[in-house]
Amino acid sequence: MQSWRSLPRYLCLAYTLLLLLVCLHPFSGWTSPGESPLAFLTEPWQKYISLVDVYLNIAGFVPFGFMLAASIREGRKPGRVVLFVCAASFLLSFSIEFIQNWLPSRVSSNLDLATNFAGGFIGALAGVRWGRAFGQDGPLQRWRNRRIQPGHIGELGLLLIGLWWLSQLEPGGLLFGAGDLRSLFDLPAPLAFSARRYFVLEVAVVASSTLGVGLFTRRCMREPSVLFLLMVLLLGLGLRSLANYFFLSPEDVLAWATPGALRGLLLGVVLFVVASRLPRWGQHSLASLTLLVSTALVNLAPENPFIAVALGTGHEGHLLNFYGLTRLVTLAWPFFALTWLSAQAVVRRW
């Protein structure tokens, strides 16, 4: 496989898995549908259609169509690429709707199938038109060759940065905090909530997470780029604000900007500037250590009752399902990052 084709393929595969997670969440309560699982194909459309759901169903399949078209467009006629992507979009959406028959919390719909197909078609057209950005001489590939570690290890690093951005769409935890295993095993918080204790742990979690993400990003790169590092952090803050807007309320857009979070963010940036002067092996070791420390602190931190109450009044439907996905990604991200750092140490030997 040519290295310049692998990035859109990785992105397409990752996005397909994310679609499955979103559409089949919460993977529980499986039961018999009580009728033919194909009955949804011929059912009439519901009388009242939510335009928000229609737009989300279309928008959700546009990236899939774009990435798939970008990964196969080289050397093929545009018409064949569009036909293949449309067929893949239909099969993926049909498989999702078919499986949803066994999930009582989900409803199979031929309208969802039609709008997903439309999104895949739009993405295919965009991929045929602009997918050359991922081509051998495209601007994204030139930037990747200049800035990012070579081979699959660099592409997987970029993918993990993208997943970290996705994890910031989870408003329930500490800023940049990830790896909270308590919900997975239904464990209570080991420490009771108090304002002072929460403040100290918030500063520690945000500072160690900022340092860990900064060093992880640095390990993905050939040469340091202050602009790219700033973009990673600033986009993370922007996505956290967006999550607050949707899952809390428009007035809570900057709810993450607490005194503890701001101090931790400043401390983490200062520590990163100091750590960036270490040799490569030192940066690598410190990245792993800080990710472990931040994950441990997240699991020690008490629950914030004010955030819990705000989330209890959040949105339903597609946004709620997406919220479940972001929680899953947030839980798993530091463990993926640590695995990647270990693999890089073996492949690149510092």
At 212-250, the pLDDT tens digits run 999 999 999 887 777 888 899 999 999 899 888 877 777
> 148 - beta bridge partners?
221
* Distance (Å, whole) CA 222 – CA 322: 34
| pLDDT in the model for residue 56 | 80
Structure tokens at 349: 């030997």
Tokens 């304002």, residue located: 195
Alpha carbons 335 and 324: distance in angstroms, whole number: 18
Furthest C-alpha separation in the chain = 65
End-to-end CA distance of the chain: 25
> Is 148 strand, coil or helix?
strand
Residue spans per domain, the chain: 3-142, 148-348
pLDDT at 116 over 60: yes
Q: Is residue 75 predicted with pLDDT exceeding 80?
A: no
pLDDT at 1: 41
Asked if the model's pLDDT at residue 118 lies above 90, the reply is: yes
Give 251's DSSP letter.
G
Half-sphere exposure of 86 toward its Cβ, with a 13 Å CA cutoff?
12
**Average confidence (pLDDT) over 75-99:** 92
CB 164 within 8 A of CB 338: no
What value does the mean pLDDT of the chain take? 83
Q: Token match 């859109």: residue?
A: 8
- What is the reported pLDDT for 92? 94
Q: What is the pLDDT of residues 26-50, one digit of tens each?
A: 677 788 877 888 888 888 877 667 7
Spatial distance between the Cα atoms of 200 and 165, rounded to a whole number of angstroms:
25
Integer Cα distance of 29 and 31 in angstroms:
6
pLDDT of the residue at 314:
47
257 Cβ neighbours under 8 A, 6+ residues apart = none
DSSP 131-177: GGGGSTTSHHHHHHHHHB-SHHHHHHHHHHHHHHHHHTT-TTSSTT-
- Cβ neighbours, 10 Å, residue 329: 20
* Residue 124 pLDDT > 90: yes
Q: What pTM did the predictor assign? A: 0.76
